[in-house]
Chains A and B, each alone.
Chain A
Amino acid sequence: MRSRLLTLVLAAGLVTAACGGAGTAADEPGGGEPVTIVFESYNYGTEGIGGEGMQQLIDEFEAAHPDIRIEPKGTPTSEIHTSVHAQAAAGNPPDVAQIGWSKFGFLLENLPYVPIDEVAPEGELDQHLEGMYPAAVELGRHDGELAGLPFTVSTPTLFVNADLFRAAGLDPAQPPTTWTEAKAAALAIVGTGAQGIFVDAAGEAKSDFLTQSLINSNGGALLGDDGSLRLDAPESVEAMEMLADLSASGAQPRVGEAEAVAMFEAGQLGMLITSSALLGGLATTSEGVFELATAGLPAYDGEDLAPTVSGAGIFVFSQDEEKRRAAWEFVRFATSERGYTILASTIGYLPLRPDIIDDPEYLGDFFAQDDRLLPTVEQLESVVPYQVMTGENGQQALELMQDSAIAPIMTSGADPEATLTDVAGQMRELLGQ
């Protein structure tokens, strides 16, 4: 009786959505007509380089595959996993979607993805993965299953306003390599009347890639080997104390991500530490405003650098066989030598196939003309895997950490040790630890 009632309730609630989700004739595969697949992306449709780069990827794919048409759909980074979820709940998920690694736990728990092992025809997957950074491939693997492929991947990058460096008596060719040097440089820039440094650790995308990168680089880890949360471990607290100190000393303005990026673009901020994915956009907006330089993530004194990645994987949700085959063709192209070349040269994502970096057919000429992506490529050697908080409340725990610990420590003067202890306790409850 109870299940019948629930079925009725669910059915009533989903009637509208189901009606809206009915496929159109153009979606029907077969009959010699091109197969249309929906591709949901957070780069697609955005103004500037990101949108243009993704459009180029789609255009080139369609030109090479006249039998497949891509119906792109743009959704903001922080909403794409919930958008896919809502569509999946209505029985009509996109065929392919670009979903951030920071939402990977949510995806594993809530989204009806089709593992790449099942999407790719027999024998094609191993051949395709050859030449790709093995560590990058592992990003999308969970419990032995390849949930998705690495698509738009980036690492933390230090963007430098070379003009402000010179005005402060600093050498932009020698950017800071440690946080101590970064703070000193920032304070020198503040002395000229500009703003010093901004670490984009609590951005609007609710990604914890910089949180993890900082903790890892201070000898810690967000999760222990047994999966237990280590946010309040001494290494983590010390890592976040650096962020708090930057703000308290005046080296870092107490602003949000959007304001900081706007300040940097306006030439009023000396250093911005964020994803290398912003390179293409910043290279364009800084033209005629200031000279843009790049460097790798600064290290903690005496510690080895251990950044993790940000960005997204590409995942398949098609249930229909024909669309699934088309989806595989698109995923294969998007993560091919040519796909990574487009993503790296236009937007600033990492070329995840090392052979294409020097190859004149791919990125050889690009890097010869503009080497500002190189620091992040070189950083790939020290990259450690992104740690995923899985489980029903993993995403909630992640957002709690970003909103209630990292953001207040950075911008509101919250005490790192007390805050991390308190928030870690709440997160453990959510994670069932």
Chain B
Amino acid sequence: MTALTRARPGPYLAPALLAVVLTVYGPLLAVAVLSLFDFNLTTRPPEWVGMANYAEIFASPDAARALWNTLGYLVAILPLSVVAPALAAIAVWRLGGRLVGFYRTVFFLPVLIPPAVGAVMWEWILNPVLGITDEPLRLLGFEPVNWLSDGAGAFAAVTVVSGWKVFGLSFILFTAGLTTIDADVIAAARLDRAGEWQLLRHIVLPLLRPVTTVVLFATVVFAGPWTFGVIDVLTQGGPAGATSNVYYLLYQYGFGFFDGGPAAALSVLITVGFGAIVALQLRATR
């Protein structure tokens, strides 16, 4: 029986393979085929249009803006999803003492708040009349900002709220990474008279590299989906598309306008585009 298992793993893999084919690769193939048709699932029978849906996406100013915004979010969210959580985790780790648990809880708590609830909370915080963001700005001598109605302000708001949500997750990952650093390595460095900065620069950060790679990877892949819920509640892609990204545009095409062909074409382009980015990233970090 053991020999048979070794020789023929197929039957054991079949259920998992079937599940993956049915839930991932089957729909992917279906979407690729559907992207060549014009359809709305109800009153209009599918009509072959070839590459016209792709041409529509490439010619769409909405799609171009959404693509740039997607890349913009990816870059803008990095300080909040990688840099700040890493620094906070190192600070808490170095601090030690009884308050470590408290800090970890405080930093992780926003992760547990449902995205829609968090976004509604921020909607009120950012309200230019009833919110609490303008008073500090006034004290600092700045003009009040209409966060959600100004293009740049709304983009910044979506970035900050999304970053606020993922900060805690990255913080926990970095904290976990720090616990794997051997205390002897630190002690040895200290014996060599390494200061705090040298310790950080030459010991801690290099040893955190695997975790940093994972967090960076997650940010690149998930920045779009992370921002989706926040966009939906806070701005619905507005004002004038300033906060939309390719995922939100896809949602609008697919479930707002039921314009199935362009939605399928955009899905294929997102999959191919992010597939390429992930492949490059894997190659770079190999």
Contact = CB atoms under 8 A, between A and B. Distances in A.
B275 interface: no
Contacts of A5: 33
The interface residues of chain B, by DSSP majority, are classed as loop
Contacts of A2: 48
B43 A112 contact: yes
A399 B128 CA distance: 25
B274 to A, nearest CB: 22
A195 interface: yes
Interface stretch (B70-78, B156-164, B237-245): B237-245
A266 to B, nearest CB: 8
B259 A393 contact: yes
A253 interface: yes
Contacts of B236: 204, 403
A426 interface: yes
A294 interface: no
A419 to B, nearest CB: 8
**B29, B48, B257, B259 — most chain A CB neighbours (10 Å):** B257
A256 interface: yes
Contacts of A106: 257
A13 B241 contact: no
B149 A263 contact: no
A10 B42 CA distance: 12
B128 to A, nearest CB: 6
A392 B240 CA distance: 22
A111 B41 CA distance: 10
Contact of B146 (A254, A268, A393): A254
Given A85-B258, A89-B42, A411 B146 contact: yes
Contact of A109 (B27, B30, B43): B43
Given A6-B37, A412-B239, A412-B240, A395 B129 contact: no
B43 A412 contact: no
B256 A254 contact: no
B218 to A, nearest CB: 29
Given A13-B34, A255-B129, A411-B239, 15 more contacts: A6-B34, A6-B46, A10-B30, A13-B30, A85-B42, A110-B43, A110-B258, A258-B123, A259-B127, A259-B129, A396-B259, A399-B256, A403-B240, A404-B238, A407-B149
